[in-house]
Amino acid sequence: MPARAYLGLGSNLNSPPRQIKAALKAIAKLPSTQLIRCAPWYQSLAVGPGSQPRYINTVVAIDTLLKPRALLQALQQIERQQGRKRIVRWGPRTLDLDILLYANQSLNTRRLQIPHPRLGERNFVVLPLADIAPELSLPDSTPLARLLANCSPEGIVRLVTTASGGRTE
């Protein structure tokens, strides 16, 4: 039986809208995986060192038969195919793909933590996640609505994505 997972997508280099669109296509082609829903896109301030371009962020819901570690490997392969270089932590990147939630599982290994450890601290994750799964609760039973209530709208703008893939603010 497939597991429902939520993935965070972000980009602030090399035409971020194009990077996000390509990532969505690649995620939809993952084996034993179905893209269920994509949240509206947001533009957010960069989290990390130095002056960086703003990010384009979104969240998707998928149903997958891939186990969490296999899903992580597949997502990292997509990042590499789109030019991701892991040089500076929280530095600029062509593409960042994170597993935010996987079914109702909690996992804490050196390489993978589910739920994502900073999920509740990041408005660019909480806002789009709430757009597509407002009734969601985390594995510890924390309602997403509680994270949303504590989420600052500062530094983030919701973008309207048109059917043709263009966007307007």
More confident residue, 67 or 94: 67
Catalytic residue among 96, 110, 140, 158: 96
Residue 110 known to be catalytic: no
Residue 98 known to be catalytic: yes
CATH code at position 99: 3.30.70.560
Catalytic residue among 18, 37, 63, 98: 98
pLDDT at 113 over 50: yes
Residue 93 known to be catalytic: yes
Residue 140 known to be catalytic: no
- Which pLDDT band, with edges at 50, 70 and 90, does 109 fall under? very high
Low-confidence winner among 30-34, 43-47, 74-78, 100-104 (lowest mean pLDDT): 43-47
Kind of pairing between the strands at 3-11 and 96-102: antiparallel
Catalytic residue among 84, 146, 158, 167: 84
Catalytic residue among 63, 93, 110, 167: 93
Mean pLDDT of 8-15: 92
At 146 the pLDDT is: 96
At 84 the pLDDT is: 72
- Contact by Cβ (8 Å): 98, 7: yes
At 167 the pLDDT is: 45
Phi-psi region of 160 (alpha: psi -120 to 50; beta: other; left: phi over 0): beta
At 92 the pLDDT is: 76
Low-confidence winner among 69-78, 127-136, 155-164 (lowest mean pLDDT): 155-164
At 163 the pLDDT is: 42
Mean pLDDT of 139-161: 92
The dihedral sign for the CA sequence 121, 128, 43, 99: positive
DSSP type of residue 30: S
pLDDT at 166 over 80: no
The model's pLDDT over 120-145, given as tens digits with 9 standing for 90+, comes to 889 999 999 999 999 999 999 999 99
Cα-based distances in Å from 73 to 20, 61, 111, 118, 146: 18, 18, 10, 20, 31
Total domain count, the chain: 1
Residues 6+ away with beta carbon under 8 Å from 168? 159, 160, 162
| Mean per-residue pLDDT of the chain | 90
Domain hosting 148: range is 3-168
CA distance 105 to 110: 16
At 83 the pLDDT is: 79
More confident residue, 34 or 87: 34
